[in-house]
Structure 1
Amino acid sequence: MDRRVLFASLILFAGGATGVGVALFAFVGVDDATIDAEVVWESEPVAGDDGSGAVVATMDGDPLVLQPTVEDGTRTIRATEAGGGVEWRRAVGGSDTADDGDGTDPPATSALVTGELGGDEVVAFTTESGSLVVLDPTDGSERFAVDLGRPGGFPPAIGDLDGDGDAEIAAVTTDGTVRAVDAAGEPVFETDLDAPVERRPLAIDFDDSEGDIARGLAVATAVDGERSITLLGATGEAQWTTTPSVTPLSWNAADTRSGPVLALGGANGNLETIDVADGESRYEVGLQDLPVTVGDADPGRVYVGGSGSVWAVDLLDGEVVWKQQYGGDTRVNAPGVADVDGDGTPGPVVVNRNGGVLALNQNGEAIARGTVGGAVVYAGPLFADVTGDGSAEVLVVTESGRIVALSD
């Protein structure tokens, strides 16, 4: 077969679930013309995180990979530069985080997040003991820390929650307290949802020339198995609360021509979208009968990983635009989006649990594939131009904390 795309009319049914969409899509094949990606550099393994906590930041325009680690019994944030050298380390919580010899692990941190506060890039996280910490990614210095008063451990969210042009940062505690602060760490609001939090919060922050897009902070909670999603406004008041049809194991915020949505990856293999404007479910579409993971979105569509497959789903109507099978029945982690071939058009990139990497264009055609070699990977891909060629390389952080950079 001399074409990359095999179009087959397939109808996807969702096991009789009420309100579940029926989708017509194109199955996309991987052929032998796909370019094999090569390992550009890799770092040494490091303990303390399974790879899912890492992010990319910049220092004087050069990329850094930041990871939560444990070094000499101390919880540490580590910055690795292109080539594998360590640029800086920052102990979390000072000496009281050190292992005192009784075998107790140092307090955990959440996954890291990056964003812009007050015009500067920052990296932020929460601690299990209940602090929100914001660092300067160029040197690891502390910008500010906020006592949440209760146990933390979920990644914070950074975004312009009120549409005034300045970003805020919001953190949640495990028992449902939500606290937002401004770029200086000063309080913006505090709200108690009186329910355990289940997922990282999502900042709803999309540019809109009309100024009428709903903004705020989405928080997922659960009480006695009853799951809810609440959108908080600029002062912490609840705009709406809804009960999703799926049990969300992952979620993300995305924009559409009809306004922003929350895309939920269900334990039953369904994707559901919730309208940010009013909390109503737009649609639910069945993808497979195993859990699926929501990844990044580009204009109008979101990419979803599952068991041996990745889907591109139209966010407006739930139509599955294409499905790509990859790696047998190995789980595919949350897809990312980047321009990895330098053509100016970003496309999805996926990494599966066996360390297989597949880069696709927007039509679902494979443009590059590679592997990190016999490693377990729980995280989605990261991206940075580590070679200076003007296009993004794919960075994979393995379960052992090893960073592998691949380029086509």
Structure 2
Amino acid sequence: MDRRVLFAILFLFAGGATGVGVATFAFVGVDDANAEATVVWESEPAAGDDGTGAATVDVDGETWVVQPTVEDGERAVRAVTPGEGRAWTTRISDEAAASGDTAEPGDTSGAVGESGENGTDPVGVSRLATGTLAGDPVVALTTASGRLVVLNAADGDERFAVDLGGPGGVAPALGDPTGDGSTLVVAAAADGSVLAVDADGDPVFEASVDGRVERRPLVVGPDPDPDGRDEGIPGGVAVSTAGTDPGTVHFIGESGETRWTRTPTVTAVGWNAAVTRRGPVLTLGGSNGNLEALEVADGSSRYEVGLQDRPVAVGEADDGRILVGGVGSIWAVSLLDGEVVWKQQYGGQTRVNAPGIGRVTGDDTFESAAVNREGEVLGLTPTGEVVLRGSVPETVVYAGPLFADADDDGTDEVLVVDQNGVVRALST
């Protein structure tokens, strides 16, 4: 396929909802002047991880990859140092292991077809979340039977484990909803129970929402002075419930009170939180191909914009823009008004996973990167121009890209985690 097409052509893009203005964007093609990235390192497979369970965590200035896995018939979490190998492995025990419970659908990484030593499936666990508690890097997960487990990232030792009060399997979140520097771990049980704990595992607040939770909660920090206004916007925790098209979004305050509940227009298949100069927003990628942004202040819709007629995956945000992946395309969308700043096409009709942001060129600027289901990788500048491309042939990839310096050259490599949990580092 010839990818040297349509470079820097300007198009007009009509918004997908009433009240969304017409946006001008650059449609950027791929040419042969870009650096070719090749695989410089790969890990062993991780049974039990289809790639979507992996995350990165900073340990003493090094970026490690952590993954849920299955070893000797038991669920575990492993840490891998890109460019070197495995750092540690920790078994995840659970009282539900003997019953064969598996993870709930949604943001989960469920049990695979390996049997435990007593003939049962290994306990289901969620995808992993990483962050820092009281200065220490940690890895957090929930189990299907309803436990929140937090491990020390440096050595894999269990920091604490607490009961959720309901069935787990949904990825937890770490963040500071008050802005006072105290990071919390927030976990939502599938039945709508929400628990926030501090760095020692002690409860900070409990809450409950109506409906089934199948998506990770989002922790949003406060904005004391949005767009120069006197009144601030308090932080909190956003929880999305599944329903009969499209479910509801609940925003919970720092004491566990529900500040607002809204029904979005789109049926979200993924979401993220982002900061803008007009206050924080929740960005929802819809099954209909639309992107919707809800105001954290009151849940009202800031905008809805149509990108395509297929589901879109919400990625990371940077420089006032949110990155979105769809079928054969990547978009950078303005967080303020929904204007499409640029669009990049590659891979024909192959789905593009949620894009990420890292430093891959060594010039101290952040670039965006995306990988599609066929393992094709693109790295792009903030203006949407391609600076690297590469591929992992003959593989299937469901996860977005990760980033780490795998060859100690001071520049991040793009990490691709395939359906077998193999981590590969691509470098130019």
What band does the TM-score fall into relative to the shorter chain?
Answer: over 0.9
How far does residue 213 in structure 1 lie from its aligned partner after superposition?
3.6
- C-alpha separation between the residues in 2 aligned to 1:2 and 1:76? 45
Q: Is the 8 Å Cα contact of residues 206 and 255 (structure 1) preserved in structure 2?
A: no
Q: Provide Cα deviations, 1:199-222, integer angstroms capped at 9, x if missing partner.
A: 110000267678924311000013
Q: What is the match of residue 296 of structure 1?
A: 316
- What is residue 26 of structure 2 aligned with on the other side? 26
Counterpart contact for 1:55–1:66, Cα < 8 Å: yes
Q: Is the counterpart of residue 341 in structure 1 residue 361 in structure 2?
A: yes
Give yes or no for the alignment of 1:316 onto 2:336: yes
Are 1:147 and 2:167 counterparts?
no
For each residue in 1:46-84, what CA deviation from the matched residue of structure 2 results, as whole angstroms up to 9, or x when unmatched?
210100111112333333211100111000101112235
| Contact in 2 for aligned 1:27/1:324 (Cα 8 Å) | yes
Match in the other structure for 1:104: 120
Query: 2:212 is matched with which residue?
Result: 196
1:11 aligned residue (2, 9, 13): 13
Moved more, 68-77 or 217-226: 217-226
- Residue 18 of structure 1 and its aligned partner are, at CA, apart by 4.5
Distance (Å, rounded) in 1 between the aligned partners of 2:336 and 2:282: 12
Distance 1:12 1:354 in 2: 30
Q: Which of residues 254, 271, 277 in structure 1 aligns to 2:291?
A: 271
Aligned to 1:214: 234
Partner AA of 2:155 in structure 1 = D
1:359 to 339, 360, 379: 379
Letter in 2 for 1:405: A
Letter in structure 1 aligned against 2:214: E
Q: Is the contact between residue 44 and residue 84 of structure 1 (CA under 8 Å) also seen in structure 2?
A: no
How many Å separate the matches in 2 of 1:36 and 1:51?
Answer: 23
Deviations 1:98-132 (A, max 9, x none): 84556532111111111111121111111111110
Give the equivalent residue in structure 2 for 1:284. Answer: 304
Q: Which residue in the other structure is 2:83 paired with?
A: 83
Report the counterpart of residue 70 of structure 1 in structure 2.
70
Task: Quote the offset at 1:2 in angstroms.
Answer: 9.7
Partner of 2:418: 398
Residue of structure 1 in register with 2:264 after alignment: 244
8 Å Cα contact 2:95-2:145 kept in structure 1 = no
2:101 matched to which residue of 1?
none
Instruction: Tell me if 1:137 matches 2:153.
Output: yes
Q: For structure 1, which segment, 28-37 or 104-113, has the greater mean C-alpha deviation from structure 2 after superposition?
A: 104-113
Work out whether 1:175 is the aligned partner of 2:187. no
Conserved? CA contact 1:331–1:352, under 8 Å: yes
- Per-residue CA deviation, residues 362-407 of structure 1 (Å, 9 max, x unaligned), is 1100000011121100000111112222221111110011110011
Deviation of 1:95 (Å): 9.3
1:42 deviates by 0.4
Mark the runs of 5 or more structure 1 residues left unpaired by the alignment: none
Contact 1:157 1:201 in 2 (8 A): yes
* Structure 1 match to 2:395: 375
Give distance in 2, aligned partners of 1:119 and 1:208. 24
Change (3 A) 1:224 1:331: closer
Instruction: Please give the alpha-carbon distance, in whole angstroms, between the structure 2 residues aligned to 1:85 and 1:399.
Output: 19
Name which of structure 1's ranges 95-104 and 257-266 shifts more when overlaid on structure 2. Answer: 95-104
8 Å Cα contact 2:222-2:236 kept in structure 1? no
Per-residue deviation, 1:234:
0.4
The 2-side partners of 1:364 and 1:343 are apart by 16
Instruction: Report sequence identity in percent.
Output: 57
* TM-score, normalised relative to structure 1: 0.94
Q: 1:178 to 1:327 in 2, by over 3 A?
A: same
One-letter code aligned to 1:140: G
SS, match of residue 41 in structure 1:
strand
Q: Secondary structure at the match of 2:250?
A: strand
Gap regions ≥5 residues in structure 2: 99-114
- One-letter code aligned to 1:89: T
- Alpha-carbon distance in 1 for matches of 2:159, 2:324: 35
Q: SS in structure 2 opposite 1:330?
A: coil
SS at match of 1:328: coil
CA distance in 2, matches of 1:74, 1:362: 43
Q: Which SS does the other structure have where 2:177 is aligned? A: coil
Single out whichever of 114-123 and 79-88 deviates more from structure 2: 79-88
* Structure 2 CA distance for partners of 1:385 and 1:44, relative to 1, 3 Å: same
Asked if structure 2 preserves the Cα contact closer than 8 Å seen for 1:253 and 1:261, the reply is yes
**Following the alignment from structure 1 to structure 2, what is the Cα–Cα distance between the partners of residues 59 and 257?**
32
Deviations 1:331-362 (A, max 9, x none): 00000001100111102100000000100001
- Partner secondary structure for residue 387 of structure 2: strand
- Report if the CA contact (8 A) 1:30-1:366 is conserved: yes
Q: Aligned-pair distance for 1:97?
A: 4.0
Q: Measure the CA separation in 2 of the matches of 1:96 and 1:89.
A: 21
**CA–CA distance in structure 1, aligned partners of residues 35 and 22 of structure 2:** 34
2:401 is aligned with 1:385: no
3-state SS of 2:191 partner: coil
For residue 24 of structure 1, report the CA deviation from its aligned partner: 2.5
Secondary structure of the structure 1 residue equivalent to 2:297: coil
Distance 2:222 2:400 in 1: 23
Letter in 2 for 1:357: V
Give the 3-state SS of the residue equivalent to 2:137 in structure 1: strand
My pick for the range that moved more, 331-340 or 42-51, is 42-51
Taking the aligned partners of 1:101 and 1:135, their CA distance within structure 2 comes to 24
Post-superposition shift, 1:19? Answer: 4.9
- What is the aligned-residue RMSD (CA, Å)? 2.1
Residues 100, 55 of structure 1: alpha-carbon distance in 2 compared, 3 angstrom cutoff: closer
Q: Tell me whether 78-87 or 95-104 shows the greater mean CA deviation.
A: 95-104
